[in-house]
Amino acid sequence: SALAQATDADEFMLVCDIYDPALRLRSLDIAAAARAA
């Protein structure tokens, strides 16, 4: 990804402080879609 190339990072950590399990999964789906784009 462009972010990985710009930072020379080989991994990223995503922190999600959302209590509701369904909303937490939705936020991870959004992050996965952004990564795939």
pLDDT at 24 over 90: yes
- For residue 26, the enclosing domain spans 2-36
Which amino acid, 1?
A: S
Separation between Cα atoms, residue 18 and residue 16, nearest integer Å:
6
* Domains contained in the chain, number: 1
Mean pLDDT of the chain: 89
Alpha-carbon Rg for the chain, nearest whole angstrom, is 12
pLDDT at 12: 87
pLDDT at 17 over 90: yes
User: Per-residue confidence at 3, pLDDT binned at 50, 70, 90?
Assistant: confident
Q: What's phi and psi for 26, nearest 5 deg?
A: -65, -40
